Structure 1
Amino acid sequence: MPSVLIAYVRVVNKINRTIGRVVMLGIFVMMGILLYASFTKTFFIPPLWSLEVSQFLMVGYFLLGGAYSLQMGAHVRMDLVYGNWRPHTRTWVDAFTVLFLIFYLALLLYGAISSTTYALEYGERSYSAWRPYMAPIKIIMTFGILMTLLQSIAILITDVARLRGIEIHDGLTEEEREQ
């Protein structure tokens, strides 16, 4: 396996692991905003921005955490047959199916770039009463899709290396991988 591919896998894994762990803390920010909105709705006039900001944070949380979830193998799988296969067969199937994911993410990235460009060019705003600009969340969306695409390519490289009998270690212990 070329050393540049091994370096790519390690760098992408490290970046996505760092982003994923930072983004995990976003759930507390969302909870705080929703708690504030609930409190003000009960006793005062609720702010216009609270629900939309929490929705934007949820989009960022979901898309920026997607690559980390993919890296950790935390996505849902239909394990009816897969769990009974030998590790070698699972690796073959994973290497094949990740190609579909890469294709899908490439199309999604194309659409995200187009949508982000439009939002930046024309100053697109939300249709809500608050009317925030859409460009910031679309930039985050595009970045999250890009990082998930890069992680998918890293997974493909790792699977191909495993099929060739090479294990790419990214410096994680088994305990860190299970977190």
Structure 2
Amino acid sequence: MPRVLILFVRVVERLNYLVGRFAMYLIFVLAGVLLWSVIAKALLNPPLWTQEMAQFTMVAYFVLGGAYSLQLGANVRMDLLYGRWSPKRQAAVDCVTVFAMIIFLCVVLWGGIDSTIYAFEVGERSRTVWRPYMAPIKIVIGFGVFLMLLQSLAFLIRDIATLRGERI
């Protein structure tokens, strides 16, 4: 494999590892927001921002951890036949099926970019009482989808290397 492709795979996987490890700790942020919500409801007037902040934190946790989850192989896979195949046969099938994922992620990213641009242009805000701006969470979603797309391309390069008898 050309060195630039090997470098691409290593950089993408390192980036997704770092972002995924960061995203893991968002569960503690989520727990803190929900804990504050419970305490504030018991002692004070209930805050308006906690429910939506918990939702935004959960979205960031889920989307930013997506590429890391793919990287670890923690995604759900139909293993009826796949587990019995040789690594080369698995790589051959993955080379075909990864295109479905790449096309799907490209469509989602395209829609996400369009939605983010719209959010900036009109100053889109949530329809709740708190009314936070929507652009920041849309940026996070777009970034997470972009990382999953990069990880899919890294998978494709890795599978092609496997088919060639090389290892990255």
- TM-score for the superposition, normalised by structure 1: 0.91
Q: What secondary structure sits across from 1:143 in the alignment?
A: helix
- 1:53-111 deviations in Å (ceiling 9; x for gaps): 01001111111110111111110112122222222211111121111100000000000
Which residue of the partner structure matches residue 8 of structure 1?
Answer: 8
> In the alignment, is residue 31 of structure 1 matched against residue 17 of structure 2?
no
Runs of 4+ in 1 over 6 A off after TM superposition: none
Query: CA–CA distance in 1 between the matches of 2:46 and 2:60?
Result: 23
Which residue of the partner structure matches residue 151 of structure 2?
Answer: 151
Give the unaligned 5+ runs of structure 1. Answer: 169-179
Which residue of the partner structure matches residue 176 of structure 1?
Answer: none
Query: CA–CA distance in 2 between the matches of 1:95 and 1:45?
Result: 55
Which residues in structure 2 correspond to 1:1-179 (within 5 Å)?
A: 1-168=1-168
Give the total of aligned pairs: 168
Which residue of the partner structure matches residue 177 of structure 1?
Answer: none
Matched residue type, 2:47: P
Q: What secondary structure sits across from 2:81 in the alignment?
A: helix
- State the superposition RMSD in angstroms: 0.9
Matched residue type, 1:46: P
Matched residue type, 1:86: S
The Cα of 1:44 is off from its aligned counterpart by 2.6
The Cα of 1:42 is off from its aligned counterpart by 2.7
